[in-house]
Structure 1
Amino acid sequence: MSKPLPAPFDKKKVVAENRRARFDYFVDDRVEAGIALVGTEVKSLRHGEGSIAESYATVEGEEVWLINSHIPEYSHGNRLNHEPRRPRKLLLKGREISKLQGAVARQGLTLVPLSIYFNSSGRAKVELALARGKKVHDKRDTIKERDWKREQGRLLRARG
């Protein structure tokens, strides 16, 4: 008997999640990336603070940047505290960067962060997704399907 497949990403502690991304986009491919952070940003994330609700990633040259993510200033930081909405460099291998750059340029996809988390070795990571935007009718279909699943669960609980 073969071993079960491991989880794709080792998420020990999820700090911020972009729940709206799965509603607004069709998620195609996911990639795990490290983040270049300063000390007070890491401390603030360890306290569970941070938001990636309106953030996105962009490829500039040979680097990938996380834009508009909000990590609030650390409460016990001093004058060396960080800027809350500064662009943060994402750490990926060259082959992954060129793959993402090609998908964004040729296919018109968007790089959307799905979550920020700490893995089992204590490193801060970002789960990036190559996503295609949904139209209004696609969002209506998603709402209709979600409501039907909810109603289906109610019916099964009532019978069972």
Structure 2
Amino acid sequence: MAEASSDISADGDSLPAIAGAFVAAFDTHVGNLVEWCRPAELNRPGLEFKAIPSGAHDLDEDFVYLRCGRLFGLAVCVKRDLSLLASPAAAAAERGARVRSVGVLGRRPGPLGRHAAFLRRQADRLLDGGSDYSELAAFVDERRADEPDGDDAIDANALLASA
């Protein structure tokens, strides 16, 4: 949780403000879905398909820049091969792999890359069977900016309204 409480990135720059964060997953019964997001209004139609690229099951890891209305996003998508980690029946139930994509949305795409290492660690943790989103929630709460008067301020509701 130390990562979530620090506002300084590895290169010493201040981390950019975000509108929120989300976790997308592939479920063998329903397909891609948003399993968690904060705030709830970020769960826009199609976000789950933008965050998990087609062919993700063939890659161990990838990242995706995406657009959601007037917001930009960065999602880190990670696949975990279950053949060595789970019983054959459990692995078969998930088609041999588990996929999670953890992302953030903000006003500009470039600075979002500074969050990539944190997003990658969260994806790994969730792939290992975690369902605790408290670190992500704290991350969002510390970095979310919705005051309309600052340089990095983001009014997520106004930006999403135009989507």
Task: Give the alignment's TM-score, normalised by structure 1.
Answer: 0.28
TM-score by length of 2: 0.27
Larger radius of gyration between Structure 1 and Structure 2? 1
